[in-house]
Structure 1
């Protein structure tokens, strides 16, 4: 073989090897107890699960913490070799990213009710009638999705919808202080924050049978992540799901 052909072949093989092992950046946002830092150490049951999935799929990955808005701005700008974990599947997101099979299913949302609104809220038989009560205020974290079904119900609600740009923990403090009557909460968020935040003891838990079903969470990747990589991730999710529950 001529020397220049040998060089070209070797360069091609080397480039293919580099491309094959180049790690994917996997972004996660601060959302305890799913993924967060404690004393500088990465924690969270979904973060551990995601790392296990990428290892099982033999997909090299570098996990980085990023704010939610930056993660989706990166997807919108077409950042390459990029994934993120723990998101709901929404139509507007599908336009700019591709989704794995589900790797976690939440229980249905619950309500956290202020002590002053307890009797009024509990007088309702379900969330559908509660949302039609114009006397009641509901706190909503602005820019956050509660899932397609709840988002639609909130958008059509007769409640006084108070949209605030704070973290769920701060919204819980507002509810506890009777600044708004109730909020929707993720079960895992509440179980974690009630143990780590002061001043939440007055909050009343309320669950309704007609609450929309719990939502599936996905690993989301940029459109340039190859189909074979997504297949390996999906197979790893399936293998993990078929194994023993837990982390």
Structure 2
């Protein structure tokens, strides 16, 4: 009888443990986009935003299960109805129709116009992106399906005939710029060195130029499928405030 009573007491004590002590798992999709997220040789997820997210998830009592998924498949997975999330996305009205967003987890430095240095004379008269696009003689390359942030997306949408959509990643985009398939791309300064290294090309070939009508950096968020428990999202938001703080307004 004593043994049975002790077993029952042990079971009751286990049931009384705080729920916060039990890590809740969450599938996290990421793709190859250094320096924010990329896959190491050992298969582990790494990068600026991955490291921030790990810190936040630990504080929220969440065990992230990272899965490397091609970029064009991630939004499809987010819309599939399964509980899952992905890191570092821009918030857009279109995406808010099928997904939830965290508080911002990272803010970029302002993007600049990235072009071949041999064309520096052509770009010299322009100090705004709008002016560059209005000129009509420049073609702009971007990864298909990617957002540049709400402000820039709205501006770029007026110049679809001068936009080259590339169904690939930023490495392929850079290679196409190097091959003169278009005249420029947009990139924040923190991405330049890592991208050039990944593309195995020289920094001396290119120039990054700031534009006066792009004064702020883009905010990046964790995007969740609508199957993720809102209480879990709120818990992660609280951890973002604690571990990172409230980021300034951006695009």
TM-score, normalization: structure 1? 0.83
Larger mean CA deviation between 60-69 and 82-91 belongs to 60-69
* Deviation of the 1:242 alpha carbon: 4.3
Larger mean CA deviation between 99-108 and 188-197 belongs to 188-197
Preserved CA contact (<8 Å) 2:86 2:223: yes
Match of residue 56, structure 2, among 49, 53, 58: 53
Match of residue 210, structure 1, among 210, 213, 223: 213
Which 4+ stretches in 1 moved above 3 angstroms? none
Shift of the 219–204 alpha-carbon distance from structure 1 to 2, 3 Å rule, reads same
Structure 1 CA distance, aligned partners of 2:77 and 2:166?
A: 24
* Deviation of the 1:174 alpha carbon: 2.4
Query: Paired residue for 2:141?
Result: 139
1:194 aligns with 2:196: yes
Query: Paired residue for 2:92?
Result: 90
Match of residue 38, structure 2, among 17, 36, 39: 36
Shift of the 158–124 alpha-carbon distance from structure 1 to 2, 3 Å rule, reads farther
Structure 2 CA distance, aligned partners of 1:146 and 1:92?
A: 13
Query: Paired residue for 2:78?
Result: 75
Preserved CA contact (<8 Å) 2:33 2:170: no
Aligned-pair Cα RMSD in Å: 2.5
Structure 2 CA distance, aligned partners of 1:39 and 1:139?
A: 30
SS of corresponding position for 1:23: strand
* Deviation of the 1:105 alpha carbon: 0.7
Superposed CA offset, 1:71-123 (max 9, x none): 2112222113x111111111121111111111111111111112343211111
Structure 2 CA distance, aligned partners of 1:210 and 1:27?
A: 33
Preserved CA contact (<8 Å) 2:174 2:199: no
1:169 aligns with 2:171: yes
* Deviation of the 1:58 alpha carbon: 0.7
Structure 2 CA distance, aligned partners of 1:29 and 1:97?
A: 18
Preserved CA contact (<8 Å) 2:23 2:61: no
Preserved CA contact (<8 Å) 2:28 2:87: yes
Preserved CA contact (<8 Å) 1:134 1:159: no
Preserved CA contact (<8 Å) 2:57 2:236: yes
Superposed CA offset, 1:49-69 (max 9, x none): 111111110123312221223
Structure 2 CA distance, aligned partners of 1:153 and 1:67?
A: 27
Gaps of 5+ in 1: 1-9
Preserved CA contact (<8 Å) 2:72 2:145: no
Query: Paired residue for 1:3?
Result: none
Query: Paired residue for 1:225?
Result: 228
Query: Paired residue for 1:5?
Result: none
Shift of the 43–61 alpha-carbon distance from structure 1 to 2, 3 Å rule, reads closer
Match of residue 99, structure 1, among 94, 98, 101: 101
TM-score, normalization: structure 2? 0.81
